[in-house]
């Protein structure tokens, strides 16, 4: 295998791809400025920060499964959760939507687009535009969680490995990819859970399986030398 990087190229008989993924961003005013200061992308990671706030009003941006899971994960830590989606209805799975609709502290705002996140040192308000009328309104918040999905860092593969429809690397249960001797670990692969603990476990398994692959290759090469 030959791997090309900005620092040079490397040759190896086995390789582990662990380039991760990055959250999709809204690309609106205030998002970058207030990232980590009330704007977050991972409820599992950052929801406990809400417990340090006097008020705990949270907005979740998105209408699919990611947003629904984010909103549900925030419930134990928040005072109220407002889910804002540009669609006419939430696009999440039926049971997720049902749970959100049945939770008194959750409010769902449809056909609205978030146009900005306002605040000097921290997120304080969000600017929302109604899709049908263009009318704008602001809502006070202490935190904004963006839940519109993840983007895998796989562009550099250029078709070398099999990917799913979203661009994540397809592996088997031993983290083997479509190319023998190439393995994938962590958020870059198709997986139901993307957290540090699962990525670390993937790394351990990928390293173990890669060593087994190298041992088998060495035994084969000795037998055919």
Q: Is residue 120 annotated as a catalytic residue, yes or no?
A: no
Q: What share of the chain is helix, strand, coil (3-state, %, to 5)?
A: 30, 30, 45
Q: Would you tell me how many other CB atoms lie within 10 Å of the CB of residue 221?
A: 10
Note the Cα 81 to chain centre separation in Å: 19
Residues 41 and 23: beta-carbon distance below 8 Å: yes
Q: Measuring CA to CA, how many Å separate 9 from each of 4, 6, 12, 206? A: 4, 8, 10, 22
Q: How many angstroms separate the Cα of 30 from the Cα of each of 45, 213, 218? A: 21, 48, 55
- Torsion, Cα 79 32 45 105, to 10 degrees, reads 20
Choose the catalytic residue: 45, 164, 172, 215.
45
Q: What tokens were used for 181? A: 């001797």
Q: Is the dihedral of CA 209, 210, 214, 220 positive or negative?
A: positive
Q: What is the DSSP letter of 224?
A: T
Concerning whether 46 is annotated as a catalytic residue, the answer is yes
Q: Scan for tokens 């535009």, then name that residue.
A: 129
Tell me the catalytic residues. Answer: 42, 45-46
């Amino acid at each position: 295998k030959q791997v090309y990087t900005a620092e040079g190229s490397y040759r190896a008989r086995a390789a582990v791809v662990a380039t991760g993924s990055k959250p999709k961003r809204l690309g609106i005013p205030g998002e970058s400025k207030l990232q980590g200061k009330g704007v977050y992308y991972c409820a599992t990671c950052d929801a406990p920060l809400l417990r340090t706030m006097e008020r705990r009003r949270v907005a979740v941006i998105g209408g699919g499964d990611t947003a629904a899971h984010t909103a549900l994960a925030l419930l134990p830590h928040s005072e109220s959760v407002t889910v804002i989606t540009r669609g006419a209805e939430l696009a999440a799975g039926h049971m997720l939507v049902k749970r959100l609709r049945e939770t008194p502290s959750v409010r769902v705002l449809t056909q609205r687009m978030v146009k900005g996140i306002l605040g000097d040192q921290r997120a304080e308000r969000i600017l929302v535009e109604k899709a049908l009328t263009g009318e704008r309104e602001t809502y006070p918040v202490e935190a904004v969680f963006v839940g519109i999905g993840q983007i895998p860092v796989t562009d550099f593969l250029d078709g070398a490995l099999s990917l799913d429809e979203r661009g994540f690397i397809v592996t088997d249960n031993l983290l083997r990819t479509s190319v023998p001797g190439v393995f994938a670990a962590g958020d870059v692969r198709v997986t139901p859970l993307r957290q540090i603990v699962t990525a670390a476990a993937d790394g351990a398994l990928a390293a173990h399986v890669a060593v087994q692959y190298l041992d088998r290759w060495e035994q084969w090469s000795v037998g055919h030398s």
